[in-house]
Each structure stands twice: as structure tokens, then as C-alpha cells.
Amino acid sequence: MDGNGRWARQRRLPRVIGHQRGVEAVRRLVRAVRHMGLEALTLYAFSTENWRRPEDEIAALMGLLKRFILSDLDEFAANGVRLRIIGDYKAFAPDVVELIEQALARTAGNSGTTLAVALNYGAQDEIARAATRAAAKGPITAETIAAELDTAELPPLDLLIRTSGEVRLSNFLLWQAAYAELWFTEVLWPDFAPAHLEEALAAFAARERRYGGR
């Protein structure tokens, strides 16, 4: 979900306003995917590298995360959305961790779309942690590492979308993206709408996936 800062800068607004509009884009999308038949949607919300940002911006992001959970949890629960977290969210402040765990517990039994949110997540860190756990249990293989990934209980990644014109993965789901289809758009995240997701899904549906075969 890239482009919040640039969206704000283009309008001569504080970066936090861009992040606020980014949360609104998340809300629109989560409401829409319930009717698109998606099994899971994973959003990259806070990376391990984001700790390098100014403290006031990090504080603002944490505040937005708390408000999002408090304001949208009832709607998630009522509509069968199941929340999952990938990454080490327990590194956050205790009040944030408590809210996250309450949300996870409340939606654990839901059977609709799974909303996986990447918090304090970095794919290289995820792979290293998974390999360490796999090695402690026996021989390391692709299968044993995959079983220890943060996404082990999620369906395979089919489509990875990157907004804002950036054409790279930025340490997101590197293992899982091995055979995923990639789709890039110039649209900044605060402007990303369900129609853009539908465009990406249409492009995905038109592709032939061979997984290395002919």
C-alpha cells in the first residue's frame, strides 16, 4: 500500500493526512472484497524498515491502527471477516498488542474472507525465522520452511499488487511470490479503489500460469 506520503505532498498536506486517507482506502477495499469471492487479502501495513521513520510519524501510524481496529472490528465480526497478522506485532506497545489480540480472538471463528495484515513484517526476517524453526525440527527443505512461515495457514499467493508506480517487491512475501502474478499501477494508495482491484483481477484472470512448465 504505497503512496500515502506522495499523495499528501502533492496536495501540500501533512503526511499523516495521507496515512488517514490510506486507511479509508483499506476500509473501502475490505468492504468490497466480501463480494468478489476472494479467499484472502493481505495488506502490507508496517514493515520492519518503517521503524526508521520519524518518531512522530510512527506514533501517528500506531494511532491510526488503533482507531481502525476500534472503529471497524464490529463490522468485521458482523460480516464474517477473519483477521490474521503476519510479522512480529508483539514488538509494538502493550496497548496496541492488546487491541490486536482482542481483534484476533473475536474474529477467529469467522469463515468469510481472511484479512491478513502485515505488521512489523519483513520477508527476509520471516524466512530467517522460519528456517531457524525448521532446522530445530529436522532437515531443512522447501516444505519444512514453508510450514514455518507466518503465512503457513493462508492460501497460496496468487496475485501481488504494488501501487504508486514502484516496480519492486520491497521485502514483501518474497518466498510466497515465487510463482505469483505481479501487477503494478501508478495509482497512489489513497486513490486505490475497488475498481482498480477489479482491473487487477481481470488482468490476472487473462494470464496463463505455467509454473515453469510449457
| 50 carries an active-site annotation | yes
170 contacts: CB under 8 Å, gap ≥ 6 = 2, 44, 47, 162
What's the pTM value of the predicted model, to 2 decimals? 0.93
Angle at 20 between CA 57 and CA 84, to 5 degrees: 90
Range of the domain at 144: 4-205
Q: Has residue 176 been placed in a domain?
A: yes
pLDDT in tens, 155-165: 999 999 999 99
d(CA 113, CA 190): 22
Specify the number of domains making up the chain: 1
Query: What CATH number is attached to the domain comprising 195?
Result: 3.40.1180.10
Q: Has residue 31 been placed in a domain?
A: yes
Q: Has residue 213 been placed in a domain?
A: no
Among 2, 4, 120, 150, which one carries the catalytic annotation? Answer: 2
Residue count of the chain, please give it: 214
| 2 carries an active-site annotation | yes
pLDDT in tens, 20-39: 999 999 999 999 998 898 99
Q: Has residue 212 been placed in a domain?
A: no
Model confidence at 213, pLDDT cuts 50, 70, 90, reads low
Among 4, 50, 120, 191, which one carries the catalytic annotation? Answer: 50
Residue 121 φ/ψ, nearest 5 degrees: -115, 140
Burial of 211 (0-12, 13-18, 19+ CB in 10 A): exposed
